[in-house]
Structure 1
Amino acid sequence: MNETQTLQEKIWQFLSVLLPILITQLALFSMTFFDTVMSGHASPTDLAGVAIGTSLWVPIQAGLTGILMAVTPMVAQMVGAMRRDQVPFTVLQAMYLAAAIAVAVIFCGALVLDPILNNMNLETEVRDIARSFLLALSLGIVPMFVYTVIRCFIDALGWTRVTMFITLISLPINVFLNYVLIFGNFGMPRLGGVGAGYASAITYWCITLISLYVVHRVEPFAEYGIFSRFFSVSLAAWKELLTLGVPIGFSIFFEVSIFAAVTLLMSEFNTVTIAAHQAAMNFASFIYMVPLSISMALTIVVGFEVGAKRYQDARQYSYLGIGMALILATCFGIGLFFFSEQVAGFYTTDAAVLQLTQHFLLYSILFLLSDAVAAPIQGILRGYKDVKVTFIVALVSYWVIGLPLGYLFAKYTTLAAFGYWIGLISGLAAGAVFLFGRLLVLQRQKMKAN
């Protein structure tokens, strides 16, 4: 990361940070994408089981790894303020915290998984697949959380292409293991959707081991000496990480969990509806990787400029990122409008699921436009270390506005399952408006203070 003087320099530096993040996010999400697609080709029941399991796991995973994302603005501001000597301590404490969170998740999951699934109105086979999928996936929780910390450290230094290469190396492993374990190739048992859980767990171990080697042996990361000195657990450091990270984690949890809640509420409908909803939501989430990547890149560049107290530069990066997200969202929306049938065909060959998926995909176009505003602003605010308002906005817009509206539309109108999607769109739009207002106020305060 370097100080920039012109808009052109900012564009090039932003793109150099953004593009590797985007490729990395798409590759990481591709694990879930291929889990869903390949499970769908195993059978609609496998697709529904993986859908339920994913809906239970993703909000928890996103929220808790969101806590660890506090490492990015902390390290970025340390580097911008020329306080590099503080980086190793912060990163190691975050790794300790990541391991502790992972163990706690496994323990709690063992206690509550069966009661949750048993209380859901699921077909027996769908419930069994969801349970076994989550048990298999749990084998990769510890490395998944540790990798989040390592990735945040590498990305905060501006070397986002390194995590891109690490992820690209691991992706073929995931696809190959899916092929082997889901369909029972090369003499392995045919595990269906459950095999996707084992494939993802093994892949997370690969990603983590590779990234640990890179941080320890490859420059410029090795010069920080992350593992050259032992630091005991510091509760004070954990408190600092949690103070910044918990609002980030909860804001992400509130956003992701509303989609999961809708999928769980969909359990009152038949397996075809669940499968179609999951397929369309999976693709919408795939496209969401674009504004999410822009958000993550903005956290890095804005955090770097804020650490150096260059607030005008931070503001320029902010609107550069939002504008880029809106342009791309418009292009994706147009493409999805004309090619919804082809996209639905990626997920299933079942005629009923295919037709219903197309309808859901058309609603997802409105997701894209709201996310193009909300996601980048969340990243900007994290760069400023302003996270509490984002947490409140996420709670209100998604759970006070979005979900109740969706429930009313689904239960008391002829929209049925589509009603939940309209509620989601309403919540996302409200969140985008609220966050933009907060950004304007914060930037005005920073400019006056400077």
Structure 2
Amino acid sequence: MNLADFFTHSKSLLKLTYPILIAQLIQNMMGFVDIVMAGRVSATDLAAVAVANSIWLPLILTISGLIMALAAITSQLSGAQKYNQVIEKTYQTAWIALAMGLALIAIYYLLTPLLLPLVTLEANLGALMFDYLAYIVWGAPCYCLYLVLRNYSEGLSYTKPTMIISIVGLLVNIPANYIFIYGKLGMPALGGAGCGLATALVYCSMFISMLIYCFYSKVLKQADLFSAFYWPVWREIKDILSLGVPIALSLLFEVSLFAIVAIILVPFGAQVIASHQVALNFTGLIFMVPLSIAMATTIKVGYAVGNNNFKQAKDYTRYSVILGLVLACFTALITVVFRTQIAGIYSTEIPVIELAASLMLLASVYQFSDTIQVISAGVLRGYQDTKSILYITLVSYWGVGLSVGLILGITDWFVPKMGPYGFWIGFIVGLTVAAILLAWRLKVIQQRIKNGEFSLNDEHQRIPLN
């Protein structure tokens, strides 16, 4: 490895990565603020926010994955200097996003009358949960359109707006929570449901702020969204969906895996579930580091591919993985050394702290395979090879990871049942399989490029032959 090249590529990657990372952490912080402020009202309000979020987040993350395809498309077109097509693809993605946002509103109002009688939660908790969803769902169209503008900007290699707008969102979130949760400035006190209204306002403020930024930004004028207008074109939308749906489903598989494990662990008791959630929450924060590198790598690789510079794309692939592993060494070390203190931030119960600390030891192991798999997936998005990510994550997470977790966690087939430890070993195995298969697929793509097996589709976007 050439150290000079490594530092050059790492500097370029980190310049794109740090605004994305800060934005991701701020979004997590907004969720933390919601939980804390709702919890100060009552445990019921806190539980309502938590349950509602467990429904809302998978939905909005799936849509986010769908729209994420735009960054890969835009980066390739930008590399090819096809800025008119960047504008057109952004508009087509915006139509998809608007449809998804409106669909969430329609689904809520169609399904709520059917689901409400079936909910077995205590009356006040169920009512607060549905009220929360009733408020937040109205912010969905704005948030989906914000994601379009975010991926448009990031695809053009401008990630700072993402960071700036997330700060705007946080500045709106805290006072809005205060007003609507506790009933200030003449507003009714909505309790935990007020978090939903506050979040809807955050979504609207982020979209409007991003729209204003795009209108006045000089750096985005090369692909000026306000210089043209495009109505929906089904052929274009179909192409975007063919890239975005696999990304969306891959995210859904990952999110749902961790959610289903939490449900399976319910019979083991509240302390086990709490320990699992503590370890999961902290490792989720750590995961923001390789995820942000992966998103930056998608942009770099996509730009290089669009510019026909396949050597540069390969270089960014290699150095992004190395950079990710170097940072994983630091995050794993922090996890191992300070695991007890970190668990103590979340809970004061000794059994919860001890079990969470033990699970964090296992988490420090899978940070390495997690880094490789998420960055490899980011590179494959840059090559616009997203279907392979879908198949590999389905097999690795659900086929291998969950199976191993179930066998070790709740059966005595090979060893006495290990409870939560078995499932976390399953996470390690599943993520390791994903890392191996995604790296293998990446090698196949790069070998095809070397052999000249690379084609152009009708829109002149670079895509790998399947």
**Does TM-score exceed 0.5, indicating one fold?**
yes
The Cα shift of 1:290 comes to: 0.7
Q: Secondary structure at the match of 2:225?
A: coil
Deviations 1:316-366 (A, max 9, x none): 101111111112122112212222333234334566655554444444323
Do the aligned partners of residues 275 and 260 (structure 1) sit closer, same or farther apart at CA in structure 2, a change above 3 Å counting? same
Distance 1:90 1:261, change over 3 A: same
- TM-score, normalised to structure 1's length? 0.89
**Residue 387 of structure 2 is aligned to residue 383 of structure 1:** no
Is 2:437 the partner of 1:438?
Answer: no
Q: Contact between 1:36 and 1:279, CA under 8 Å: does it hold in 2?
A: no
Residue 313 of structure 1 is matched in structure 2 by 312
Partner of 2:106: 107
1:177 maps to what in 2?
A: 176
Q: Which of structures 1 and 2 has the bigger CA Rg?
A: 2
Question: How many percent identity over aligned positions?
Answer: 34
- The Cα of 1:268 is off from its aligned counterpart by 4.5
| Contact persistence 2:89–2:236 (CA under 8 A) | yes
How many angstroms does 1:194 deviate by? Answer: 3.3
Superposition pairs of residues 48-447 of structure 1, within 5 angstroms? 48-112=47-111, 127-182=126-181, 191-268=190-267, 270-349=269-348, 354=353, 356-412=355-411, 413-447=416-450
Deviates most, 379-388 or 211-220: 211-220
Contact 1:140 / 1:204 at 8 angstroms: preserved in 2? yes
Provide Cα deviations, 1:278-333, integer angstroms capped at 9, x if missing partner: 33322221111111101100000000001111111111101111111112122112
Residue 433 of structure 1 aligns to which amino acid in structure 2?
A: I
1:130, CA displacement in angstroms? 4.0
Specify whether residues 382 and 218 from structure 1 end up closer, same or farther in structure 2 by C-alpha distance, changes over 3 A only. Answer: same
Contact 1:377 1:436 in 2 (8 A): yes
Structure 2's unaligned 5+ residue stretches are: 454-466
Could you tell me which amino acid in structure 1 is paired with residue 388 of structure 2? V
Q: Between Structure 1 and Structure 2, how many residues are aligned?
A: 446
Q: 1:191 Cα deviation (Å)?
A: 4.8
- Contact 1:47/1:275 (<8 A) preserved: no
Q: CA RMSD in A?
A: 2.9
- Of 387-396 and 105-114, deviating more is 105-114
Contact 1:59 1:260 in 2 (8 A): no
Question: Which segment is superposed worse, 305-314 or 179-188?
Answer: 179-188
Q: CA deviation at 1:104?
A: 1.5
* Deviation of the 1:444 alpha carbon: 1.7
Task: Tell me how far apart the structure 2 counterparts of residues 352 and 47 of structure 1 sit (CA, whole Å).
Answer: 23
Following superposition, the deviation at residue 190 of structure 1 comes to 5.6
Which one-letter code corresponds to 2:230 in the other structure?
A: F
Change (3 A) 1:283 1:130: farther
Aligned partners of 1:125 and 1:367: how far apart in 2? Answer: 40
Q: Aligned equivalents of 2:367 and 2:128: distance in 1?
A: 31
Secondary structure class of the residue paired with 1:346 = helix
**What is the rounded CA distance, in whole Å, between the counterparts of 1:322 and 1:230 in structure 2?**
39
| Long gaps (5+) in structure 1 | none
How far residue 63 of structure 1 moved from its aligned partner, in angstroms, is 1.8
Alpha-carbon distance between aligned partners in 1 of 2:268 and 2:51, rounded to the nearest angstrom: 13
Query: 1:147 Cα deviation (Å)?
Result: 0.8
Kept after mapping to 1: 8 A contact 2:6/2:319: no
Q: Please give the TM-score of this superposition, normalised by the length of structure 2.
A: 0.86
Cα deviations by residue, 1:43-62 (Å, 9 ceiling, x for unpaired): 65555444433333222222
Return 200-209 or 106-115, whichever deviates more. Answer: 106-115
State the partner residue of 2:464.
Answer: none
- Name the amino acid aligned to 1:201: A
- Give the letter for the 2:337 counterpart: F
| Larger RCO (CA within 8 A; separation ≥ 6) | 1
